[in-house]
Structure 1
């Protein structure tokens, strides 16, 4: 079971908080696979409005789903960090945040944790820890 722990300026955030929702949508809406990404069959996934909304040419969401059925090795962890950064890049591009720090680490043989720290433009720090990501994408 995946657990997301989110705080803003050290205080817990409810899942309904706009920052927590933006983070969840950014990470857990499956972004369309790039042409160079290996996929099973023709399933490239993606958000239903990919290509319709010109203000979002890169699409929304993350490619974390591409890690499904992959071995939990160093390359998978690097890809998890890259996919997370890609999904959250809009926070910087849209000037919602001034800095983005991501740390991916392994817990045991079958769990991966993504720790995120986003410095908002007003100086407050939004943090999130996604625990056991592997269980979500390998359902």
Structure 2
């Protein structure tokens, strides 16, 4: 996956800093669906069955949008799923706050922007120009 990290085009395999790597894992690993998601198969990581911290789960529910059309509703759900997936950064004291933006960028494409404001000062800006194709085509 190619994305922008602080304005520079970056390949996920080249990211060595643990924070942007954790963001990628948090967004693009399949979190188990909630019971009210009505997913035919709940997916998710088996390790979430036995978390070391109660309620702790890895990944996001972005995968649930893979068969959806791009609408304002699905873009809002994508933003909400990404926010949910990255909430642990705030809960664990890594970030002071996160800003998530999901916008349509073409007929069949959408952009996901993530800004992480670390507690100790640095700001990380990650932009996934066509994350929708990752969801729909893997």
TM-score by length of 2: 0.89
Residues 98-129 of structure 1 deviation map (CA, whole Å, 9 limit, x = unaligned): 01111111111100111111100111101100
State whether structure 2 residue 97 is matched by structure 1 residue 96. no
Aligned residue for 2:119? 121
C-alpha distance in 1 between matches for 2:9 and 2:73: 32
SS at match of 1:50: helix
The structure with higher relative contact order (CA 8 Å, sep 6+) is 1
Q: Which is richer in helix?
A: 2
Please point out which of 46, 49, 54 is paired with 2:47. 49
Distance change in 2, residues 1:132/1:98 (3 Å): same
Residues 79-108 of structure 1, C-alpha deviations (whole Å, 9 max, x = no match): 000000000000000010001111111111
Matches within 5 A, 1:26-45: 26-39=26-39, 41=40, 43-45=41-43
Task: Specify the SS of the correspondent of 1:32.
Answer: coil
Contact 1:5/1:128 (<8 A) preserved: yes
Gaps of 5+ in 2: none
C-alpha distance in structure 2 between counterparts of 1:108 and 1:25, whole Å:
25
- 2:78 corresponding residue in structure 1: 80
- Tell me what 1:16 maps to: 16
Moved over 6 A (4+): 10-13
Q: Distance in 1 between matches of 2:24 and 2:96?
A: 19
State the match for 2:65 in structure 1. Answer: 67
Q: Give the alignment's Cα RMSD to 1 decimal.
A: 1.7
- Give aligned pairs, total: 134
Native 8 Å contact 2:3 2:9 kept in 1: no
1:51–1:57 CA contact under 8 A, matched in 2: no
Mark the CA change 1:56 to 1:46 in structure 2 (over 3 Å): closer, same or farther: farther
